[in-house]
Structure 1
Amino acid sequence: MAVQQGKLGRRWAAVVLAAALATSTFATPASAATVPCPHDAAANVDHPPLPAHPAADHYQRAIGGRRLDTPGLVVPGKGARPPAVSATSWLVADLDTGEILGSCGPHEYAAPASVQKLLLAATFVGRLDPNQLITVTPGDLDIPPDSSMVGLVPGGRYRVETLWLGLLLQSGNDAANVLARLGGGTVARGVAAMNAEAARLGAYQTHAVTPSGYDGPGQFTSAYDLALIARACFADDAFRRYTATRTAYMPAQPPKYKGFAFQNQNQLLYEYPGAIGGKTGFTDLARHTYVGAAQRGNRRLVVTLLGAESWPQAGWEQGVALLNWGFGLPTGTSVGNLVEPGQAPPTPRPSPSPSAAAAVAAVPAVVNDPGWTPATTIAVGVLGIVGIGLLAGVTRWIRRPRRR
């Protein structure tokens, strides 16, 4: 029995040593320490609990660059510190190059509220004929009474373009239901198509339950995913025209309903030079969410933020502060990138080990990694070789015949 215990002890020693070597070999310097995000102390409130979401997947959290696998701040080494905001997570990126200028908790889960309507647009704006005349059904208006609505009526006849304007300017949940039904055949199939589009874009931390962003169990997104979705939207000519429209008109539905004008709720368009569009959102669970984009010269930036409070700064004003910070950084500044559709496979190859560090290290080369330098790579390789040699020596020592 004593001999068996001795053998078992030596075996456990080898296992522990191997685990230690693996940890030291694959640990990522970029994720070694979490830098707190600048937070607006004036908005020190208790945030509602996060929506139910999957466990942290360190492969998916490293999409766009290993430095992005952090709940904290990731910014370039040089340049001004980003402004303090109340948002729990945010991201600033270049719409054209896909370079991420900086972020706070880029892959942290949060509820989307109405910025989820951008995923609806990314899915169907290029598939539906804007001139098609459709009829609203009573089922299209089966939405909670506290929903935001643009004022569609049962039996009303509207062009698809009018529905897009009602969705993006006035955040109409009634318009969201109609567009999801038109695109998918039913609202449920429309939502399924939205989730398929999110996966195609590489937005693996996004799951829609409602087409409008109205809170539902199992519905979530991240600041990084929102940036992927927004980038896809702004690549479409029709979307850019819709989101930049300030005032639109809802046609009369005689004999009972008169026509009326409605305005874009995104204050960025009225207050920020160079603004090109975006989307606002709010629910009790999500708090204030926001996506905004602007152009200076040949540079177009987008900001996404989640979990913000409206005081002392509204969500769009926090977006302005972050856009100003981003435009102040040199062109080419990057801490990561927005992947192209299909660039990041949904599962790593080879499959990651249960270790979070090893999972991050298993991200394939197509995912940009600005956090690793050639010197770091060589150092890690040397550590790995030394570790393997040491482990082999320990194993031979354990297996060496012993005198009894």
Structure 2
Amino acid sequence: MLPAMTAVPSFAATHDENPGRKKPKPPAVMSSVGGAQLAKPGTQVRLGPGAPVIPKGVTGRSWIVADAESGDVLASHNAHWRLPPASTMKMLFADTLLPKLPKTTVHKVAPEELADLGAGSSLVGIKENHTYTVHDLWLGVFLRSGNDAVHVLSAMNNGVDQTVADMQEHAEELQALDTKVVSPDGYDAPGQVSSAYDLTLIARSGMQKKDFREYCSTVSADFPGEQKKGKKRETFKIQNTNRLLTGANGVTPYKGIAGVKNGTTTQAGSTFTGVAERNGKVLLVTVMHPESDESMAVYKEAGRLLDWGFAAAGKVTPVGELVPPASAQPATSPAPEPAKNDGGKDEAAEPVAASQTGSSGMGVALSIAGAVLAGLGAAMFLLRRRWPLPDRPRQEPRP
């Protein structure tokens, strides 16, 4: 096996109005949750015989490729760098609230529930004083990344403040310790951060929930429109904004894609977490804030990393792992604390590069395997189960 290789990190220039200014660097030491190598800056990978090198054209400030079943981290780049997450924060929102709110519940939207949406928020088109089912609202969250739907669901959970507290508690239970929740919808807010590692951990947890899997793999759905006096309430079509799922804007749908969430804000740039299955192998990938000027770069870079992961599976030594929830840890072995974000300089070495395998095409995973984590006495065990997904892109999950 080749020793771990560290590449010169790339830094995003998205939304940078002054390209001459000094670009941000990751801290010299980050959290060691998941393994000591993940605490290091730069690209972390251990290539074995026959393993492809990391592809060119991956410019994200932070990224990670992991096996969804075993939890092995196949490769990473600044995995624990705390960065604004944009709407990928909605994965934590959904993983926290989905079990609490029955999907058949009908709710009438009060004006105050839509009063504090951030300027320029993504919206699904919810109208005050109109009724929606919880199922409708989740479609708005997953497909259109609707901040209006998030705020209405938060109101049903005793308000935004309670929802933020619940999300933070759930993040800590998952050991997503880089994550600080300020706004439940991922809208830019001072102090709100997550990491590629945490977003991948959160996605893995969410994908163990049937409703989460179905919503995030839904391509399009009908959404309730405005109720006009004396007329039957009509619907309008909404489509998922995950371009690896739907295509469009120069992005080819990725073969085997099964979700999960994308996001874009001024501070975060573009972020994306995806899950895909090929030949029984299921991978998770997260890319945060690419610096490339390539159109739809976050999706294309995620696709390149997925291609690499499928080609490299079984040919690399893991550089870390996706840890189990805190409650699954032995009582005598507390969860590790994240390292301080001290803003130190990077370690520099030879860059790693490789060609991509060029996989493309529409498809949703036939099945997806994962870990259900349980603590038994002083030991920790992985209890595996199947995560069945639709055999084709879903037009709309049943309420």
Q: Give the TM interval when normalised to the shorter protein.
A: 0.7 to 0.9
Percent of pairs with identical residues: 36
RMSD: 3.4
Q: Does 1:339 align with 2:323?
A: yes
SS of equivalent residue, structure 2 residue 99: coil
Partner of 1:35: 7
1:269 CA displacement: 1.3
SS of equivalent residue, structure 1 residue 120: helix
Of 66, 70, 73 in structure 2, the residue corresponding to residue 93 of structure 1 is 66
Partner of 2:385: none
Q: Does 1:325 align with 2:295?
A: no
- Contact 2:154/2:160 (<8 A) preserved: yes
CA distance in 2, matches of 1:253, 1:38: 46
1:311 CA displacement: 2.6
The normalised TM-score by structure 2 is: 0.73
* Structure-2 change in CA distance of 1:332 and 1:64 (3 Å): farther
Question: Please, which runs of 5 or more residues in structure 1 have no aligned partner?
Answer: 1-29, 357-364, 368-404
Partner of 1:236: 209
Q: Does 1:284 align with 2:266?
A: yes
Partner of 2:118: 144
1:91 CA displacement: 0.4
1:86 CA displacement: 2.2
More helix by share: 1
SS of equivalent residue, structure 1 residue 325: helix
Partner of 2:144: 170
CA distance in 2, matches of 1:170, 1:48: 35
Letter in 1 for 2:274: G
- Contact 1:50/1:109 (<8 A) preserved: no
Partner of 1:399: none
- Contact 2:13/2:291 (<8 A) preserved: no
- Contact 1:207/1:220 (<8 A) preserved: yes
Spell out structure 1 runs of 4+ moving beyond 6 A. 38-45, 47-51
Partner of 2:243: 267
CA distance in 1, matches of 2:72, 2:185: 28
Once the two structures are superposed, what CA deviation does each residue of 1:149-199 show, in whole Å capped at 9, x if it has no partner? Answer: 00001011111111111101101000111122223x111110110011100
Letter in 1 for 2:334: P
SS of equivalent residue, structure 1 residue 293: strand
Letter in 2 for 1:316: Y
Letter in 2 for 1:291: T
* Structure-2 change in CA distance of 1:62 and 1:171 (3 Å): same
1:49 CA displacement: 7.4
- Contact 1:98/1:339 (<8 A) preserved: yes
After the TM superposition, which of the residue ranges 264-273 and 282-291 deviates more from structure 2?
Answer: 264-273
CA distance in 1, matches of 2:219, 2:268: 26
Partner of 1:305: 287
The normalised TM-score by structure 1 is: 0.72
- Contact 2:274/2:285 (<8 A) preserved: yes
Letter in 1 for 2:275: A
CA distance in 2, matches of 1:188, 1:39: 33
Letter in 2 for 1:144: G
* Structure-2 change in CA distance of 1:178 and 1:320 (3 Å): same
- Contact 1:137/1:154 (<8 A) preserved: yes
1:259 CA displacement: 2.2
SS of equivalent residue, structure 2 residue 60: coil
> Size of the alignment, in residue pairs?
321
More strand by share: 2
Question: Please, which runs of 5 or more residues in structure 2 have no aligned partner?
Answer: 247-252, 345-377, 381-399
Q: Does 1:114 align with 2:87?
A: yes
- Contact 1:181/1:189 (<8 A) preserved: no
* Structure-2 change in CA distance of 1:86 and 1:245 (3 Å): same
Letter in 2 for 1:307: H
